[in-house]
Structure 1
Amino acid sequence: MKQITNTILMIRPVSFRMNEQTAINNYYQKVIENLTPETLQFKALQEFDNFVNKLREIGVNVIVVNDTKESDTPDSIFPNNWISFHENGDIGIYPMFAENRRSERREDIFDILEENGFKINNIIDYSSAEEEGLFLEATGSLALDRQHKKAYCAISPRADEDLLIEFCEDFEYTPVSFIAYQTVEGKRLPIYHTNVMMCLAESFSVICLDSIDDKKERKNVIKHLKEDGLEIISITEKQLNNFAGNMLQVLGSNNEKYLVMSSAAYQCLTNEQIKKIEKYCKILHSSLDTIEACGGGSARCMMAEVFLPKN
C-alpha cells in the first residue's frame, strides 16, 4: 500500500470565519480583533490560493472544489475531517462533532472525482453515529499508516474509541489509541485531533511525544513506530502550538517527495529537525496565518489525500 499520493482534494472557502461550534474543544482557535468578515474571507482565500499554487508548482495534482454559499460551513476548508479515500476504491464518510460542519459532506464531490477519472467502489458511512453523540473526524482523528495498516488515534470528544475499532475492522487496520494533551490555562486537556500532534510520512513520523502523558501509552506508540522502521522526529509542545505536527507528505513531479506544512510550522523547527526531515524529502511551506488563527487547523487539515484507483 502507498503511504503518499500525488492527488489532493481541497475546498475553496466562500465564508470562512472562526467557527464558534468547534471552538468549544479546539483550543487553537483565536478571535482576530478588528477584522470584518469580508476581510477575513479575503485573507483566507489569498492564503488558500497561494497554497494551491505552490502545490501545483511542484507537480501535485490539486482538485479544487468551491464551497457553496447555500450552507453555513465556515470550516469547509478542512475536508480531511469528513472523508477519507482508499486504494481499493473505498471511501469513508465520518460523523462530525459540530452540527454546522455536517453539511460539509457533499455527494457532488464523488461525481467530481469520477469526472477526474477516479473509481469509487464502495462508500462506508459512519455519519449516523452522530445521533448517538459519537464522532470520528476522518484523517483529523486518524493518523493512518497505510503501509503497515495501523490507525493512530488520540481519543477525544471528536474521536470515539468504539468508532475507531469499527473503522479498523472495516478497513483492516490495527488501532493504536492513546490520549494526547495540551496545556490550556494551566489545565491538561485532550487535543481535539490526532493530526495536530503527529504526522506519518513514508519513512518517519513527526510527533509530540510530550503530549502523551500516560507513560505506557507513550511507550506503546514509540514501539509501533519503531517496529515499522519509522524514524521518530520529536517536536515540543511549543512547536505543536505552531502547528508543527500538522504536516502531510505528498508526491510532486517525477515522484519527488515533499513534506508540506505552514510557514509558522516551518519557522518554529530547529535546524536539526529540518535536517532530519530533509534526509527523506524536500519541504514545502506556505503562510496560513489567518486560517490557522481562526480555523484552528493548518496545512494538513486542508488536504484530503485521494488514493482511489484510476479508471
Structure 2
Amino acid sequence: MQTASAVLMVEPVAFGYNSQTAENNYFQIEQKDADIQSKALQEFNNFVAKLKSKGVHVITVKDTLEPHSPDSIFPNNWVSFHNDGKVVLYPMFAPNRRVERRTDILEILKDNGFEISEIDDLSHFENQEKFLEGTGSMIFDHDHKIAYGSVSLRLDEELFRQFCSKFGFRPVVFHSYQNAGGERLPIYHTNVMMCVADKFVVICLECIDDELECEKVQEVIKSSGKEIIEISEDQLQQFAGNMLQVQNNDGDKFLVMSESAYKSLTAEQISAIEKYCEIIHSDLNTIETNGGGSARCMLAEVFLPKSK
C-alpha cells in the first residue's frame, strides 16, 4: 500500500537552527528569535490537530532535552517502519542527529498495538562516512517497488543500491540541484524535490540538470501509470516538493503540505492534485525557516502490522 494510515511525529522541546545540518541544507536560515521553540511547538500542535481532525492516526512522542537534538522534529530521516514488521535505522550525516535514534520510541509503537519483528540497524555505516537518511533521501513507490534517490552527501549511491537490493526495490538514481548563494548545489534530500502518491507524482524536473537523467526519471514515473504534476524551482524553495500522501482509517486520502507550499501552487496544480485527494496544509514557517524541512519531513509513516 502506498499510503500509511498512521504516522509518528516527535514533539519538539528544544527546536532550533542546526549548524551541523546547515553545511549542505541550503533551505535553512537562522532566525535570531528567543521564541523559536514556543513558535515551533505551536506550529507542531496545530499541524497534529489538523491531521487528527481528518481521522489520520497520529502517534506523538515528546523529544528529550538531553541529549540535545535540534532536528528531532524530523523523524523520517533516522527510521522507517515496514509492513512486514521490519524497522530500519539509518546512518545520519550530522553527528548531533544520530542521538535521535531512540529504542523507547519503538516500545511506544508496540504499546500502540503495532508489531515489530526485526530491527535492521544501518547506523554503523556512519563509521565509513556513508549516509542514507531514510525517507528524506529515498522516495518509495511501494506499489511498484521503485525507490527514487538523488545522490548527495546524505544519500550514498552504493549504500542506496544495497538497500534496494535487500528490500526488493528497483533503484532510480539521479542528481538534483538548486540555486543557492549564486551556485548550483546538490539538493540535500530527495523529498524536497519530489513526492510519490498513489496515482500521481509531484516533482521539480527543473532540478535534474542532466537531460538523460531527467528523461529516465520521467519514463519510470510514466511506466508506473502515475500522473506527473510538475513544480518549478521557485515553488520548491517554498517546500512545494515536500509533501506526503496519507490516509485515514476510512481509506480517505490526503496530500499533506505546509501553508507556504500550498500558497506557492497555481490553481491548475491544486486542481490536478484535488482530482485525486483532498489537501491538508498547515503553517510551518518557523520550522521550515530554521530547520530547512517541512511537512513531509515531520511525518514518519507507520506501515507496521497491527498486533494480533
Band the TM-score falls in, shorter-chain normalisation: over 0.9
Task: Provide, for residues 255-298 of structure 1, a one-character-per-residue CA deviation record: whole Å limited to 9, x for no partner.
Answer: 11100000000000000000000000000000000000000000
SS in 1 for 2:250: helix
Does 2:104 match 1:108? Answer: yes
TM superposition shift of 1:241: 0.2
Task: Provide, for residues 79-138 of structure 1, a one-character-per-residue CA deviation record: whole Å limited to 9, x for no partner.
Answer: 000001111111111000000000000000111111111111111111000001010000
**In structure 2, what is the equivalent of residue 45 of structure 1?**
41
CA contact (8 A) 1:9 1:64 kept: yes
**In structure 2, what is the equivalent of residue 7 of structure 1?**
6
**In structure 2, what is the equivalent of residue 240 of structure 1?**
236
CA contact (8 A) 1:58 1:253 kept: no
Task: Work out which of the residue numbers 248, 255, 278 in structure 2 matches 1:259.
Answer: 255
CA distance in 1, matches of 2:256, 2:127: 35
Task: Work out which of the residue numbers 280, 283, 307 in structure 2 matches 1:284.
Answer: 280
TM superposition shift of 1:254: 2.1
CA distance in 1, matches of 2:47, 2:187: 26
SS in 2 for 1:87: coil
**In structure 2, what is the equivalent of residue 306 of structure 1?**
302
TM superposition shift of 1:166: 1.2
Letter in 1 for 2:244: L
Aligned residues: 307
SS in 2 for 1:195: helix
Letter in 1 for 2:16: R
CA contact (8 A) 1:29 1:296 kept: yes
CA distance in 1, matches of 2:248, 2:258: 17
Letter in 2 for 1:7: A
CA distance in 1, matches of 2:83, 2:138: 16
**In structure 2, what is the equivalent of residue 125 of structure 1?**
121
TM superposition shift of 1:252: 2.3
**In structure 2, what is the equivalent of residue 18 of structure 1?**
17
**In structure 1, what is the equivalent of residue 80 of structure 2?**
84
**In structure 1, what is the equivalent of residue 292 of structure 2?**
296
CA distance in 1, matches of 2:44, 2:7: 14
TM superposition shift of 1:253: 4.7
Deviating above 6 A after TM superposition, structure 1's stretches of 4 or more consecutive aligned residues are none
CA distance in 2, matches of 1:291, 1:70: 20
Question: Structure 2-normalised TM-score?
Answer: 0.99
CA distance in 2, matches of 1:124, 1:177: 23
- Stretch deviating more after TM superposition (265-274 or 183-192): 183-192
CA distance in 2, matches of 1:92, 1:170: 12
SS in 1 for 2:153: coil
CA distance in 2, matches of 1:138, 1:166: 13
CA distance in 1, matches of 2:63, 2:93: 20
TM superposition shift of 1:248: 0.3
CA distance in 1, matches of 2:18, 2:134: 19
CA RMSD after TM alignment: 0.6
Does 2:207 match 1:211? Answer: yes
- Stretch deviating more after TM superposition (178-187 or 22-31): 178-187
Does 2:293 match 1:272? Answer: no
CA distance in 2, matches of 1:125, 1:145: 22
Does 2:152 match 1:156? Answer: yes
Letter in 1 for 2:184: R
Does 2:246 match 1:250? Answer: yes
CA distance in 2, matches of 1:87, 1:21: 33
Question: Structure 1-normalised TM-score?
Answer: 0.98
5+ residue gaps, structure 1, are none
TM superposition shift of 1:186: 2.0
CA distance in 2, matches of 1:32, 1:84: 30
Letter in 1 for 2:7: I
After superposition, the Cα gap between the structure-2 partners of 1:122 and 1:305, relative to the gap in structure 1 and judged at 3 Å, is same
Letter in 1 for 2:182: G
TM superposition shift of 1:209: 0.4
Letter in 2 for 1:18: Y
**In structure 2, what is the equivalent of residue 169 of structure 1?**
165
TM superposition shift of 1:141: 0.2
CA distance in 2, matches of 1:117, 1:14: 26
